[in-house]
Chains A and B, each alone.
Chain A
C-alpha cells in the first residue's frame, strides 16, 4: 500500500512541478470553451443547449494532455525497471499511475467546470448536473487513456497517435456522459439511466484499464 501511494503521489508531484500541471489542463479546457462560442455564433439559447456537450469535449481533450508521457518517461529514465523489481505488481502500478494522473489533470477540470459552465450560459441546475457527470466520467477517460499510454511505451514517440488510438474508445463514455448532462438542460431527457451507464463504464474501465495497461507494458519489455 505504501508503494501504491508512493507511485500515485509521485505522479501528482511531477505533473504539478513540470509544466504547471493542473493549471495547464484547466487553461487548455478554458481555451477550448472560449473558442467554441465564437465558432457557433452569438446565440445564447443554442449555447446553453449544446453547453454540456462542449464541456465534455473540452474535458476529453484536456484529459489527453500529458498522457503520452505517463509511462514513457518512466521507461526512459529507468524508473520502470525499478518499479518492475520493486515487488509492486504492474497492474497496481498502472492503477496508481492512473489515479495520480486523474488527480493532477481530471480533478482540476471537474473543479473548474462549474465556473466555466457559466461562460456557456448554463442554468444552475444544468451546471451541477454537468459537473456531476464529469466527476463520474473523467476517471473513465483517464483509465482508457492509460491503456493508450501503456501502448505508447512500445511504440516510442507516439505523440498524437495516442489521441487517435484512444478517442474511438471514449465514445460510449461521451454518449452517456452528455446524455445524462443534457437532463439538466431539457426536461425531455432523463438523468437516471444514462448516468447509471456512465457509472458502469467507469467501473468497467477501472477493471480493464490496469490489466490491459500492464499487459501492454509487459509486451513492450520483450
Chain B
C-alpha cells in the first residue's frame, strides 16, 4: 500500500494553516509529524483521513480501496470514541461490528493493553490513560493498513507508552503505514519526518 499526498493546503476560517505539504509513504513507513500547538498537525491527519476537505492538493492511495479512502485507515484522535454508558468490551465489539471484525477478539485486544480484567466495566469509570489504551485496542481489534495517530502518547504512563511503541513497531514491521502527529518523542523510531510551521 502506498499513500501519496501532493501539495496539501488547509485554510480554516479564512486563515491559512499550512500549504505545499507533500509526502509519499510506502509499506512499513512511519511518518512523524511534529510542530507546536496550532501548527495544523491534527488538521493534516483529518485531511488525510478524508474527515476534512483539503483546500488544495490531493491524497491518493495505491491500490485504491473500494469506496472512501477512509476504510483503509484508523484515525485515533483526541477523542477516544468511547461510549461511557457501555462496557469496555461492548465498545470494542461495537468498533468490530461497524468497521469489520478483522483483527483480534475483544478479550485478546484488551489483554494487549493490560485491560483484559476491565472488560465488563462501564467505560465511564476509566481514567484518561485507560480510555486512551482502550482506544488503542481499536487498532488491534480491526486491522487496517494505515494508522493515523494524533498525539497517541497523550495521558499514557511510561509503561503504556513503551507498549504502544511495540504495537506500532509491530504494525510497521508487518508493512503497515503509520502517520503520527506529536509534540513529544515517539516511543518508536520513525522512517520519515515532517515539521509543520510556527503556528502563529
Give the interface segment out of A9-17, A122-130, A132-140: A9-17
Give the interface segment out of B19-27, B48-56, B188-196: B48-56
Q: B interface, how many residues as a size bin?
A: 20 to 34
Q: When the two chains form their complex, are residues A85 and B73 in contact, meaning their CB atoms are under 8 A apart?
A: yes
Q: When the two chains form their complex, are residues B52 and A3 in contact, meaning their CB atoms are under 8 A apart?
A: no
Cα A11 to Cα B86 in complex, Å, equals 11
Contact pick for A6, options B71, B77, B94, CB 8 Å = B94
B79: interface (CB < 8 Å):
yes
B70, B74, B90 interface centre (most CB from chain A within 10 Å): B70
Which secondary structure dominates where chain A touches chain B? helix
Q: When the two chains form their complex, are residues B85 and A13 in contact, meaning their CB atoms are under 8 A apart?
A: yes
Q: When the two chains form their complex, are residues B67 and A10 in contact, meaning their CB atoms are under 8 A apart?
A: no
B51, B71, B77, B85 interface centre (most CB from chain A within 10 Å): B85
- Residue in A closest to B74 when the chains form the complex, CB atoms: A85
Cα A84 to Cα B99 in complex, Å, equals 10
Whether A81 contacts B71 in the complex (CB less than 8 A), given A3-B98, A14-B86, comes out as no
Whether A6 contacts B98 in the complex (CB less than 8 A), given A81-B79, A84-B51, A87-B67, comes out as yes
Contacts of A10 in B (CB 8 A): 83, 86, 94
Which secondary structure dominates where chain B touches chain A? loop
Task: Looking at the assembled complex, report how far the CB atom of B8 sits from the nearest CB atom of chain A, in whole angstroms.
Answer: 16
Q: When the two chains form their complex, are residues A77 and B82 in contact, meaning their CB atoms are under 8 A apart?
A: yes
A187: interface (CB < 8 Å):
no
Contacts of B50 in A (CB 8 A): 84-85
Q: When the two chains form their complex, are residues A18 and B81 in contact, meaning their CB atoms are under 8 A apart?
A: no
Q: When the two chains form their complex, are residues B49 and A78 in contact, meaning their CB atoms are under 8 A apart?
A: no
Contact pick for A3, options B73, B90, B99, CB 8 Å = B99
Contact pick for A87, options B68, B79, B85, B138, CB 8 Å = B68
Contact pick for B98, options A7, A14, A78, CB 8 Å = A7
Cα A83 to Cα B100 in complex, Å, equals 12
Which B65-117 residues sit within 8 Å CB-CB of chain A? Answer: 67-68, 70-71, 73-75, 77-86, 90, 94-95, 97-100
- Give 18 A-B pairs besides A82-B98, A82-B99 with Cβ atoms closer than 8 angstroms: A6-B94, A6-B98, A10-B94, A13-B90, A14-B86, A18-B85, A77-B82, A77-B83, A79-B81, A81-B49, A81-B75, A81-B81, A84-B50, A85-B49, A85-B74, A86-B71, A86-B98, A221-B51
Show 15 A/B contacts (Cβ-Cβ < 8 Å), sorted by A. Answer: A3-B97, A10-B86, A13-B90, A77-B81, A77-B82, A78-B81, A78-B82, A79-B81, A81-B79, A81-B81, A82-B98, A86-B98, A87-B67, A87-B71, A221-B52
Q: Which residues of B contact A (CB under 8 A)?
A: 49-53, 67-68, 70-71, 73-75, 77-86, 90, 94-95, 97-100, 138
Q: Which residues of A contact B (CB under 8 A)?
A: 2-3, 5-7, 10, 13-14, 17-18, 76-79, 81-88, 221-222
